[in-house]
A and B are shown apart, each in its own frame.
Chain A
Amino acid sequence: MRDNERSAEFVAFVQARRSDLVRTAVLLCAGDEAHAEDLVQTTLTRLYLSWPRVQRADSPLAYSRRCLTHVFIDETRRAHRRRETSVAVPMDALGRDPADASPDLDLRALVLTALSSLAPRQRAVVVLRHWHDLDVDETARILGCRPGTVKSQTARALAHLREFLTTADHQLDLEVS
């Protein structure tokens, strides 16, 4: 494949799919938008380097989400990133002004704070299973673990989220379909 063809396809992909990757990364990073942008940039570079695999994928978007999740998991293994994540304050990261408060902004801040209280892999499980609607086997394949691990991580993550969100301070009751 010629470089200019690859570049043209890549540009079209970025125009169509970047926003999806950014939103996924924001959830994985629990609202740390700078970190999310870093992840997306790294992901897009990796995709370009292995563009023939993107082309061969049944769903280039699904492939790119998988790549993004791998980048996220890799990043969380690095000590400096873990340290940064552990002190991140999602409510502040959103940069929200109290004057702009709205039900959706409240909900967003609350959910991101709840996500930040999960371990990175549990957060990834929640995003893959309950936002991208992937099944257990596909989630396990992406995370490189057994389906049983996904099930147990999901159960623990949801229990934690419910507990976090239904405390007196938060008063939010999540329904998991």
Chain B
Amino acid sequence: MALNHDLKHALDVAAGDEPRPADPAADLARAQAAVRARSRRRFRLGVSALATAALVGAASVVVLDGSPTSPPSAAAAEVRLVAEQLDAEPYTFDLTPEGWSVQAQLPSAVTIAPDDGSTSDEPHDFRGKLVIIFDANPPTGRDVEHESRQFWVNENPDYTIISTRTRADEPSGVVSIQYPHNTGWEESAMIEFLASVHVGPGAQHGQG
């Protein structure tokens, strides 16, 4: 006997009955343990990065993540990309974040900060800023295709890193952008911006 079933109903049946209410204490304990583990990782990362900075000077990365206490940028509500070339040798961008400027450029990284003065003048403090990183690490995260090019999105609680492989005529490697969540940038805009990056021959892989 053939039966007719609406797919939604069939899926509802397949999803099963409402499970018994679970004790949220176990979920809370796991989550709080994860918070403590993250704090330990951040502490180690900070110590490690500071030690690296002491060794190689201004070229080192001191802070990679925007903490929840980092001040929201005044530009957060109105950020957008405009079709203007942005130069940060050895990197060039076909698009420019309006109201943002290159704060520091290295063969392995570029820091772009809002012009409103809401972030630190210290170029190695990445909080509230866009950071372009070039390295040889394999990209990880959620796959996104944009204009026939593959991107990988790695979301963290306070910031997201989007990566893509360089073009065939560019130095081989992975170019990534790190953007904080409290500055008004959306994933789609960041992919568009990253897709506009051209990696010049002077680019060098960063450590990490």
Q: Which residues of chain A have a CB within 8 Å of any CB of chain B?
A: 7, 10-11, 14-15, 18-19, 22-24, 26-27, 31, 41, 44-45, 47-50, 52-53, 70, 73-74, 104, 107-108, 111-112, 115, 126-127, 130-131, 133, 144-146, 149, 158, 161, 166, 171-177
Contacts and interface: CB of A to CB of B under 8 A. Distances in A.
Nearest to A103: B3
Nearest to B35: A49
29 contacts: A10-B28, A14-B28, A18-B19, A18-B21, A18-B24, A26-B14, A44-B27, A49-B157, A52-B68, A53-B157, A70-B142, A104-B13, A107-B3, A107-B10, A108-B13, A126-B7, A126-B11, A131-B11, A144-B142, A144-B143, A144-B144, A145-B145, A158-B7, A172-B2, A172-B3, A174-B5, A174-B6, A176-B6, A176-B7
A15 B21 contact: yes
Interface string B58-87: 000000000010000000000000000000
Interface string B35-46: 100100000000
Contacts of A166: 2
A18 B27 contact: yes
Nearest to A174: B7
Nearest to B20: A19
A171 B2 CA distance: 5
A166 B14 CA distance: 17
Contacts of A104: 13
Would you call the interface of chain A mostly helix, strand, loop, or mixed? helix
A22 B22 CA distance: 11
A109 to B, nearest CB: 8
B14 A31 contact: yes
A45 B30 contact: yes
Contact of B22 (A18, A49, A52): A18
B157 A130 contact: no
Contacts, number: 129
Interface residues of B, number: 40
Interface in B131-175: 142-145, 153, 155-158
Contact of A23 (B7, B15, B156): B15
The 6 closest A-B pairs by CB, nearest first: A48-B31, A50-B157, A23-B15, A111-B14, A14-B24, A131-B11
A22 B19 contact: yes
A112 B145 CA distance: 30
A121 B102 CA distance: 39
Nearest to B12: A131
A73 B154 CA distance: 13
B24 A130 contact: no
Given A44-B31, A49-B157, A111 B1 contact: no
Contacts of A11: 24-25, 28
Contacts of B3: 107, 171-173
B13 A107 contact: yes
Nearest to A11: B24
A161 B11 CA distance: 12
A7 B35 CA distance: 12
B34 A49 contact: yes
Contacts of A49: 31, 34-35, 38, 157
Contacts of B38: 49
A15 B24 contact: yes
Contacts of A174: 4-7, 10
B32 interface: yes
B16 interface: yes
A9 to B, nearest CB: 11
